[in-house]
Amino acid sequence: MGPIGDALDEYFARSGIKKRIDQSQIVNEWTELVGAKVSSVCSPQAVDPSGTLWVRVKSAAWMQELQMMSPAIIHELARRGRRIKRIRWVASSGDTVKEPRRRYFRPNIQ
For residue range 17-49, list pLDDT tens digits in order: 877 777 778 888 899 988 999 999 999 998 888
Lowest-pLDDT range of 46-50, 67-71, 73-77: 46-50
Q: What is the pTM of this model?
A: 0.71
Q: How far apart are alpha carbons 4 and 67 in whole angstroms?
A: 43
**CA-only gyration radius of the chain, Å:** 16
Higher pLDDT, 7 or 106: 7
With beta carbons less than 8 A apart as the criterion, state whether 42 and 97 touch: yes
Sequence letter at residue 65: E
> In this model, does residue 62 exceed pLDDT 70?
yes
